[in-house]
Structure 1
Amino acid sequence: MNGRALTVDPTGRFIAGIGYRTDDADSQPLLLLWAGTPRRPRPGVWDEPRLTVVTIRAPQQVEDINRYGVAVGNAFDGNVYRPWRYRNGRLDWLPVLPTVSNTLALGINSRGDIVGLGAVEQTESTLPLLWPADRPGTVEVIDAPFYASAREILDDGTIIGTAGSFGWVRHPDASTDRLTAPGARWSGIAAARGTWAVGSIGTGSEGGDSTLVRWDLRTGVASAVNPALVSTQDVNSRGTVLGDRAVDHGDRLVALGGAIPGVRDPFGWGIADNGLVVGSINGSRLRPARWINC
Structure 2
Amino acid sequence: MHDDEEMLRRLRVDDLPPSMVDLNRAMRAGRRRERMGAVVAGGLAAVLALGTVVVVAATTGKNTAAPWPGAGPEGSRSPEPAPPLGNCTIDEAPVASQSRMIKIVANRSGQVFVMQDPLKSGNLLRWMDGRQERIDGVPTGDGYGTAAAVNGSGAFVGASGYKPAWVYRDGTFTVLPLPPDVSAMSMVGINERGDLIGTAFYWDGRDDTRAVLWPASQQGTPVLLATPAGWSSEAMDIADDGTVVGYLSHRTDNGPVDITPMAWGLDGSARRLPVPAGWTPARAGKRGPYPIAIAGDWVVGAGARWNLRTGTAEVVEGLMPMKVDKYGRLFGNVPLSVPDNGSTSGRPAVWVNGDVQPLPIYPDRPEGTLFSVSLDGRRITGTSYVTSGAFGTATWTCGR
TM-score normalised by structure 1 residue count: 0.77
Partner of 2:163: 81
In structure 1, how many angstroms separate the alpha carbons of the residues matched to 2:145 and 2:329?
Answer: 29
Is 1:151 matched with 2:151? no
Change (3 A) 1:190 1:120: same
Change (3 A) 1:270 1:5: farther
Partner of 2:361: 258
In structure 1, how many angstroms separate the alpha carbons of the residues matched to 2:398 and 2:173?
Answer: 31
Partner of 1:45: none
CA offsets 1:234-290 (integer angstroms, 9 cap, x no match): 12223221103212233643323333x633422212211242111112267333222
Change (3 A) 1:29 1:214: farther
Over alpha carbons, which structure has the higher Rg? 2
1:177 is aligned, of 271, 279, 286, to: 271
Is 1:100 matched with 2:182? yes
Change (3 A) 1:59 1:88: farther
The Cα shift of 1:53 comes to 3.3
CA offsets 1:140-180 (integer angstroms, 9 cap, x no match): 22223431122222222222111111210123553322222
Cα pair 2:213 2:224 within 8 Å, conserved:
yes
Is 1:213 matched with 2:301? no
Cα pair 2:365 2:391 within 8 Å, conserved:
no
The Cα shift of 1:139 comes to 1.6
Partner of 1:190: 292
SS in 1 for 2:164: strand
Change (3 A) 1:29 1:90: same
Is 1:163 matched with 2:266? no
Cα pair 2:225 2:268 within 8 Å, conserved:
no
1:285 is aligned, of 390, 394, 398, to: 390
Q: Which has the higher strand share?
A: 1
Counterpart mapping for 1:31-180 below 5 A: 31-36=124-129, 49-57=130-138, 60-76=145-161, 80-121=162-203, 122-145=205-228, 146-164=231-249, 165-179=259-273, 180=275
RMSD: 2.7
2:379 is aligned, of 273, 276, 282, to: 276
Partner of 1:241: 330
Residue segments in structure 1 that go unaligned for 5+ positions in a row: 22-26, 37-48, 201-211
Change (3 A) 1:98 1:127: same
In structure 1, how many angstroms separate the alpha carbons of the residues matched to 2:306 and 2:294?
Answer: 9
Aligned AA (2:392): R
Aligned AA (2:126): L
Partner of 1:43: none
Partner of 2:73: none
Change (3 A) 1:162 1:51: same
CA offsets 1:112-142 (integer angstroms, 9 cap, x no match): 1111111112220011111121123332222
Change (3 A) 1:170 1:199: same
CA offsets 1:178-214 (integer angstroms, 9 cap, x no match): 22223546421211121111112xxxxxxxxxxx121
In structure 1, how many angstroms separate the alpha carbons of the residues matched to 2:212 and 2:153?
Answer: 22
SS in 1 for 2:192: coil
In structure 1, how many angstroms separate the alpha carbons of the residues matched to 2:361 and 2:396?
Answer: 9
Partner of 2:49: none
Cα pair 1:4 1:286 within 8 Å, conserved:
no
Aligned AA (2:263): V
Cα pair 1:5 1:280 within 8 Å, conserved:
no
CA offsets 1:38-66 (integer angstroms, 9 cap, x no match): xxxxxxxxxxx432333543854332222
Question: Bigger CA drift: 173-182 or 214-223?
Answer: 173-182
Residue segments in structure 2 that go unaligned for 5+ positions in a row: 1-97, 250-258, 282-287, 334-347
Cα pair 1:4 1:287 within 8 Å, conserved:
no
Partner of 1:203: none
How many residue pairs match? The answer is: 260
Question: Bigger CA drift: 86-95 or 154-163?
Answer: 86-95
Higher relative contact order (CA 8 A, sep 6+): 2
SS in 1 for 2:371: strand
Cα pair 1:197 1:215 within 8 Å, conserved:
yes
Q: Percent identity?
A: 27
Cα pair 1:114 1:133 within 8 Å, conserved:
yes
